[in-house]
Amino acid sequence: MPQFWMEDFAPQMVWLVISFIALYLLMARVALPRVANVLETRHGRIADDLDQAAQLKAQAETVISEYEAALAEARAQAQATIAQAGAEAAAASEKRSAEVSEVLAAEAAAAAERVTAAKNDALTELRGVATELAQAAAERLIDSSVDTADVQAAVDTAIQQNASGS
């Protein structure tokens, strides 16, 4: 191997030192500062990105809190609207119930009047039938004619005694 020949060893060492120093200076003066600039730029960009991310996170938290507040307000308004609608429905129901009650009361009063009128008509008709029946019975019993006014007076007296006795 030619590297291990002793007569060529000293010049190889000189060239090794010269090459090492030249490469060291080239790296120290040219390549490393460029790498350092790239790393510094990258570090700055990362720091800016982190700051921007923190700002965006703060904005997102603000938006989320505003959204939650708006949602809570919307829920409260919905509950109020539902309560108001329920109250209005209850009031309308009560009003309708009162109207129906009034109509039913009026119909019941009219029906009571009709019943009373029918009762009076029936009593009047019954009085007439009772008068005719009593007159016919009296005429058969005594075999003579009986005055209609007397029979009506007797039937009226009997009806009044029955009404007061019951």
Q: What is the pTM of this model?
A: 0.43
Using pLDDT thresholds of 50, 70 and 90, give the confidence band for residue 3: low
Has residue 166 got a pLDDT over 80?
no
Mean pLDDT of 41-62: 96
The answer to whether residue 15 sits within a structural domain is: no
> Burial of 155 by CB count in 10 Å (0-12 exposed, 13-18 middle, 19+ buried)?
buried
Can you give the residue range of the structural domain that contains 61?
26-165
Q: Is residue 118 one of the residues assigned to a domain? A: yes
Q: Is residue 10 very low, low, confident or very high in pLDDT (cuts 50, 70, 90)?
A: confident
Half-sphere exposure of 136 (CA within 13 A, CB side): 6
Supply the DSSP symbol for 107.
Answer: H
pLDDT at site 40: 96
- Buried b / exposed e along 135-147 (16+ C-beta atoms within 10 A): beebeeeeeeebe
Residue 16 inside a domain? The answer is no
What confidence score (pLDDT) does residue 1 get? 57
Does 70 fall in a domain?
A: yes
Question: Which pLDDT does position 92 carry in this prediction?
Answer: 95
Mean pLDDT throughout 138-155? 82
Range of lowest pLDDT (25-29, 55-59, 60-64, 132-136): 132-136
Contact indicator for 159, 127 with CB cutoff of 8 Å: yes
| pLDDT range class, residue 162, cuts 50, 70, 90 | confident
Residue 79 falls inside a structural domain: yes
Decide if 7 is inside a domain. no
Check: CB of residue 115 under 8 Å from CB of residue 98: no
Q: What pLDDT score does 102 carry?
A: 93
pLDDT for 110 equals 93
| Amino acid found at 59 | Q
Q: Is residue 85 part of a domain?
A: yes
Distance CA 35, CA 121 (A): 124
Half-sphere exposure of 95 (CA within 13 A, CB side): 6
Number of domains into which the chain is organized = 1
Residue 4 DSSP symbol:
G
In a domain, 6, yes or no: no
pLDDT confidence of residue 2: 66
- The CA distance from 143 to 166, in Å, is 34
**Confidence at residue 140, expressed as pLDDT on a 0 to 100 scale:** 83
